[in-house]
Amino acid sequence: QSALTQPPSASGSLGQSVTISCTGTSSDIGGFTYVSWYQQHPGKVPKLIIYEVSQRPSGVPDRFSGSQSDNVASLIVSGLQADDEAVYYCCAYGGTTNPWLFGGGTKLTVL
């Protein structure tokens, strides 16, 4: 059982938007601004796409955005493209004894 809770699946049509949630507690998501999101295509290494709740690394399209409200973080993917089909993991800082907490992953299907 993962420390953070994500829906196992999400879907959207080409060009539409989809939101993936990540639920934690006041000791992790709700307690710090260190929430990140990783994209993993099948057989590939995870790739950082959002950090510190809503920041995008260089090279990540602005179709990817993030937000946080209380103990819930969200990843929004707008203008869905076929290549967005992947598994998305949220990650949060949970303090010095649990510095890297992950969600179970959400498989995004682009219809």
Partner 1 sequence: QMQLEQSGAEVMKPGSSVKVACEASGGTFNTYTLIWLRQAPGQGLEWMGEISPLGASKYAQKFQGRVTISADDSSRTVYMEVTNLQFEDTAMYYCASPNPYSSCWHCLDFWGQGTPITVSS
Binding site for partner 1 (CB under 8 A): 2, 34, 36, 38, 45-46, 48, 51-52, 55, 57, 89, 91, 93, 96-105
Choice between 26 and 96, CB closer to partner 1: 96
30 burial via Cβ count (<10 Å: 0-12, 13-18, 19+): middle
Over the range 35-47, which residues count as b (16 or more CB within 10 Å of their CB) and which as e? bbbbbeeeeeebe
Choice between 14 and 48, CB closer to partner 1: 48
Shortest Cβ 35–partner 1 spacing (Å): 9
Place of tokens 């080409």: 14
Choice between 4 and 13, CB closer to partner 1: 4
Shortest Cβ 104–partner 1 spacing (Å): 4
> Measuring CA to CA, which residue among 70, 75, 81 is closest to residue 103?
75
